[in-house]
């Protein structure tokens, strides 16, 4: 077979999700030929995942008809032919609706194919002296052998049309003994680790991911991010994402000597350790940030506004953001005024209304509430849709309000009188108290999260639903 020279680089999707066939430009003359077998910049521009290969393997096959596979390994592969020609067969052996899907193609040195983790790879040589190359994003190890998934080459369900009948081909005894599709245990997806799983956001993430068996939830007893030994002992190669919902959030206590140390340990030092792990293993790192990284002087805070924290808590969150921003695969989800299942401002106001107490509430801090169920849904949306990495503001939508206006709304919904809430300035409210400085304007721009297809719900609607649920809960 003659190689076609100077074809344009081209990507062709296949019936198996994530499997993409590539035409490679091959340049030749009377001396032979040359090709760029792997060119990261050009490949990424065509949509190939930046899968960070670390090892290159070559399978040399002396005679035509040599047949190898079907093996699904726990890593991604970029496969090409160095010399000769092959008939390739790929079968999806991952959990999910595409399990069992088959794709076949003949490949010569002018083509390559990307095979995601869990898709079975097999080939049969069509010429003598064929070399088949693998570029993989994990190092082979004996431990990894136990994570392989295999399929019998002669499986009738897959019904692969081998050019050379298998009874005439060169096969290994191991390949002959592999199970048929009905007996194959599908390869499970990589795990998502949720840290801080017992906090307000953590509980909302449990609810958001209740249908996903691969999501692992860790509270402080399972993963204490303030303890150095928590970061070892896991096989991080088996994780696709870390969602860090753990944080030191005692804003006022952070201004004390002990609180300052604790805030830096949890919000910065632990985040740095997670960032190292995510970078080393190609894991997507989701970090939850705060409006406190801003000084509140802007009318509305966009994602690219320079950080300008006022107090220790804000400083530690800003430092954490800077660290996570250097992780190749990251989402920073910046929120404000978080309300969920736990002690929070709305519950406190509802309780005061029920007891007939008339509170004074600050009326010069402006922002929007962020309900944890919606924060969790936004995080899942970013991961599920593979949105562009980066920082995303998130709060619920609607007209910005002061804390006092929200308190009055809560009073009106829970049997109290909105007029029972009186407004005071932040300075008046904290006079004589040890308190951290707070941004007066926490309104976050939401254009970027909307552009991904996620539309934040109206704050007023979520507030009604939240209070109705509180009443039902008793």
Report the C-alpha gap between 321 and 308 in whole angstroms.
12
Q: Which of 22, 132, 134, 429 is catalytic?
A: 134
Report the C-alpha gap between 134 and 115 in whole angstroms.
10
227 Cβ contact partners less than 8 Å away, ≥ 6 residues apart: none
- Return the number of other C-beta atoms located less than 10 Å from residue 136's C-beta: 20
Do residues 58 and 79 lie in contact, with contact meaning Cβ atoms separated by under 8 Å? no
Cis omega (within 30 of 0) on the bond before 70?
yes
Write out the H or E segment, with its range, that includes residue 68.
Answer: strand 67-72
Give the single-character DSSP code of 397.
B
Give the single-character DSSP code of 444.
B
Biggest CA-to-CA distance, the chain: 93
Which position has the token pair 């990589």?
190
Residues across the chain: 474
Cα dihedral sign, 428-434-440-443: negative
Three-state SS for 169-204 is CECCHHHHCCCCHHHCCCECCCEEEEECCCCHHHHH
Let me know if 71 is a catalytic residue.
yes
Helix (H, G, I), strand (E, B) or coil at 354: helix
Do residues 215 and 195 lie in contact, with contact meaning Cβ atoms separated by under 8 Å? no
Report the C-alpha gap between 286 and 335 in whole angstroms.
13
DSSP string spanning 238-306?
A: GEEEEEE------TTGGGSHHHHHHHHIIIIIHHHHHHHHHHHHT-EEEEEEEGGGS-S-SSSB-TTSP
Let me know if 381 is a catalytic residue.
no
Report the C-alpha gap between 289 and 370 in whole angstroms.
12
Take residue 349 and report the two structure tokens written for it.
């106001």
Active-site positions read 71, 134
């Amino acid at each position: 077979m003659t190689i076609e020279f100077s074809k344009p680089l081209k990507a062709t999707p296949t019936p198996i999700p994530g499997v993409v066939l590539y035409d490679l430009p091959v340049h030749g003359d009377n001396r032979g030929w040359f090709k760029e077998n792997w060119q990261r910049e050009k490949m990424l521009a065509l949509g190939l995942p930046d899968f960070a290969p670390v090892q290159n393997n070559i399978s040399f096959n002396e005679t035509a008809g040599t047949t190898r596979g079907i093996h699904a390994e726990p890593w991604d592969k970029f496969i090409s032919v160095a010399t000769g020609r092959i008939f390739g067969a790929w079968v999806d052996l991952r959990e999910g609706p595409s399990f069992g899907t088959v794709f076949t193609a003949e490949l010569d040195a002018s083509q390559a194919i990307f095979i995601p983790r869990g898709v079975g790879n097999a080939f049969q040589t069509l010429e003598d002296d064929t070399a088949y190359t693998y570029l993989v994003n994990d190092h082979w190890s004996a431990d990894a052998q136990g994570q392989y998934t295999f399929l019998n080459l002669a499986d009738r369900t897959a019904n692969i049309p081998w050019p050379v009948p298998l009874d005439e081909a060169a096969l290994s005894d191991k390949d002959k003994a592999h199970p048929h599709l009905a007996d194959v245990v599908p390869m499970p997806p990589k795990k998502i680790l949720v840290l801080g799983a017992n906090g307000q956001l953590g509980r909302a993430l449990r609810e958001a991911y209740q249908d996903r068996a691969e999501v692992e939830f860790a509270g402080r007893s399972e993963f204490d991010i303030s303890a150095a030994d928590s970061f070892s002992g896991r096989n991080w190669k088996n994780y696709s994402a870390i969602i860090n919902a753990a944080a030191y959030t005692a804003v006022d206590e952070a201004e004390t000597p002990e609180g300052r140390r604790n805030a830096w340990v949890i919000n910065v030092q632990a985040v740095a350790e997670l960032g190292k792990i995510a970078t080393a293993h190609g894991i997507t790192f989701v970090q939850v940030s705060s409006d406190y990284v801003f000084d509140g002087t802007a009318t509305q805070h966009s994602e690219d506004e320079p950080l300008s924290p006022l107090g220790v808590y804000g400083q530690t969150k800003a430092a954490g953001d800077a660290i996570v921003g250097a992780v190749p695969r990251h989402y920073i989800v910046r929120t404000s005024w978080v309300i969920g299942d736990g002690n929070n401002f709305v519950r406190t106001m509802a309780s005061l209304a029920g007891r007939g107490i008339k509170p004074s509430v600050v009326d010069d801090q402006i922002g929007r509430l962020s309900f944890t169920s919606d924060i969790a849904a936004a995080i899942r949306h970013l991961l599920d849709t593979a949105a562009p990495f980066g920082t995303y503001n998130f709060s619920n939508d609607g007209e910005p309000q002061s804390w006092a206006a929200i308190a009055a709304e809560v009073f009106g919904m829970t049997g109290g009188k909105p007029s029972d809430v009186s407004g005071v300035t932040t300075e008046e409210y904290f006079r004589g108290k040890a308190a951290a400085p707070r941004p007066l304007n926490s309104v976050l721009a939401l254009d970027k999260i909307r552009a991904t297809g996620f539309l934040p719900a109206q704050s007023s609607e979520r507030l009604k639903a939240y209070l109705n649920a509180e009443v039902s809960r008793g």
